Structure 1
Amino acid sequence: MKYSFAIILLLFVSSAFAQRIYKEKKLIQFSGLITDVDSNGVVPYVTVTNLSYNDQKYAANYKGFFSFIAHPGDSILYTAVGYKDFVYVLQPEIEDSKYTAMIRLKSEIINLPMVRVYPWATVEEFTREFLAMKVADDDYVIAAKNLSQHSLSGMIRTLPRDGGEISNSNYRMNHDRSLNKNMVQTNPLLNPFAWGKLMQTIFKGDQSRSADN
């Protein structure tokens, strides 16, 4: 009787211990989508770290989707460049073997200090370059040189016409063609009035020459 009771107690303890181990080691397929909390756009290539399981790392794809094996109650860390770190804790009691979640990351804005880059390596090099520098004229003198007649004439001779000038010239030529397309150009040699004016001019010239003589 004692042996039977001991065997039953041993089986009961073993069963309870096995159920406890089973619950502690239960595995689930954890999947989800990572998006931006402000724009709702997906965040690609996020690093996913299981802090509760030897810091095992995973990576989301270019669409922000991830899927890996985890345990209920695990703490999952999400890190990405330009976003604040986010820790998501799985529920300790998950009945199903699959679990999905929508992960939202907050963008992190870092104001970097202003950096001014100088082209001189040392102060001595700057002093040497400054002393050798040719100081330019002031703005008024430069403007007067640019607007002088000599400068404008040189630019007129050398600079090609821009798009606006070519467009205006083409517009005027097309306008003149449209106005004169129905007009017939006459030959002045066939115009009797032109011949009469020419003869009158010749007669007046002969009369003036005879009067002078």
Structure 2
Amino acid sequence: MEESESVSAKNNADKVDVSSRQSSQTKPRLKLFNKVIEKSLQWLLDNASFDRFSHYFQPLSKQNPQLTEAMHKQFISQLQTLVQKEIATVIEEGDLQVRLEELDKLQELAKDTPHAAWRPTGVPEQDVCSDLVSYYKKQEEYMRIQLKKLQKENAGLAQKVQAGRENITHTEQRIASGVEEWRASLEDLEAFVSTLSPSENFESL
């Protein structure tokens, strides 16, 4: 009886198609995932053997073994269907097939990468330090670039300030020159007026 149930369980497990895949188009990781699920389901069904099932229904199994066998078959069928539905739901909600295919594509692209990808050493202190060193080096390079930009901007601003100061100096010089010219013109005017009407002439009038 147990042998027949085991064969039946294996036949049922062979029919499992968790992700409704087409074998000719299945990606490597999806194949591996389906294989693991099939083996896990097979292990579950094997452990739900008729002997173990009937052990928990001993009075009934002794009085009516045919009914116990029918109950076991129904239990196996419902268990398999329920597990398949749950796995299918997980695959659908997590979009697992697409994710696994993306991993396959990334692996294919990584074949052309000359350097191996970073892997942890297993010592957290070393991994953290190595990661921090890389991070700080990037930050240092970034700060150098920003410093050069600021120095260039400051140099440009300094030139503008210097040019502004020179313009102010030239303006002050022009104003001073204009004042001197105005004073000279005023003195010439006063001298000219004094020649036309000297003060003593006004006193004699």
TM-score, normalization by structure 2:
0.21
Relative CO higher for 1 or 2, CA cutoff 8 Å, sep ≥ 6? 2
Q: Pick the structure with more strand per residue.
A: 1
Higher helix share: 2
